[in-house]
Amino acid sequence: MNKEPAAPNWDDFRLVRAIADARGLPGKAIRLYREALLLEPNDVDALAGQGQAMVDKGAVERARANLARVRTLCKGSCPQATTLAAAIAKGPPVTTAQVGVTTTTVKTSND
């Protein structure tokens, strides 16, 4: 017997994405969303979630492409587009490795 594949459980994908976020693994979240989108290419929640993960990874241009697709599917504005647009505007998170540490020695007259 051939069975239809089960519909993806978006709550599971959201949970895994939250776990990936908590562990600082946006690349894993992007991959999981890509798998979800193979099953349902026009899922606005998955597109927006993948876009957010792309921003977190620093792939802002790819996130913009997702935003354009979300807006097209929503036929204008929708909460997913608004949230993703805000994440893109904010940009990727700054990591410790990206922050330059500058040390300055100040001589005082007492030295």
Identity of the residue numbered 7: A
Give the pLDDT of residue 6: 59
In angstroms, rounded to a whole number, what is the distance separating the alpha carbons of residues 72 and 50? 16
Question: Measuring CA to CA, how many Å separate 32 from each of 17, 101, 103, 108?
Answer: 8, 35, 41, 56
Is pLDDT larger for residue 90 or for residue 18?
90
Is pLDDT larger for residue 93 or for residue 55?
55
Neighbouring residues of 87: CB distance < 8 A, sequence distance ≥ 6: 51, 52, 55, 63
As given in the structure block, the two tokens for residue 5 are: 């594949």
In angstroms, rounded to a whole number, what is the distance separating the alpha carbons of residues 25 and 101? 25
pLDDT tens-digit series, residues 55-78: 999 999 999 999 999 999 999 789
